Structure 1
Amino acid sequence: MWTSTSMGVPESVLLSVMGLSVVMVTLIILALVILVFAKVMGSSNAAAQSAPRPIPDPPGISDEVCSMILAVICEELHASPEEINVTSIKELK
């Protein structure tokens, strides 16, 4: 394409713009592919996550104690209560 040993300013600007456009188009395509994969993977998990399971009432532990335990777990894990599924509460001995 270039026959001389040096490149002028217009050619260098054109080459830079072409390089940046290739990078930007590649990033846009990658973002779209990630969105498509997120939609496909999210649709299979949406049915399982749409119906939250209730926390069973353990025998001998009041609702207030269960709420405090769940609050402590959420604080330690930096998560919301909807993200955590408590199946049982047992005292460790």
Structure 2
Amino acid sequence: MQKGFGCHEYNLFSSEETVDGMQPLFWSGVMIHDSEPIGFWKAKSSRYANLNSAIKAFEELKGIAPYEFRAKFGCDCREALAGGDHDGTA
């Protein structure tokens, strides 16, 4: 994300859901800025939910041009970093 698109506001989120007496189900996704999650995945293990959601998000972003990425997700990270540090120093 940082290398290809210059974006630093993304994260991997996960949660767990259980139904009475059933094995827990873990779900995970990738959030870019405040957009809808991409790469959403459910699995019986948090490890595999996280891994597969990251892989799926990568597949969804593969081939997209940086300007398309910025437009789709409202990303202005590269421009914010170009002016210096966030604390106002150069």
TM-score normalised over the length of structure 2: 0.22
TM-score w.r.t. the length of structure 1 is: 0.22
| Greater fraction strand | 2
In terms of Rg, which structure is larger? 1
Q: Name whichever structure is richer in helix by fraction.
A: 1
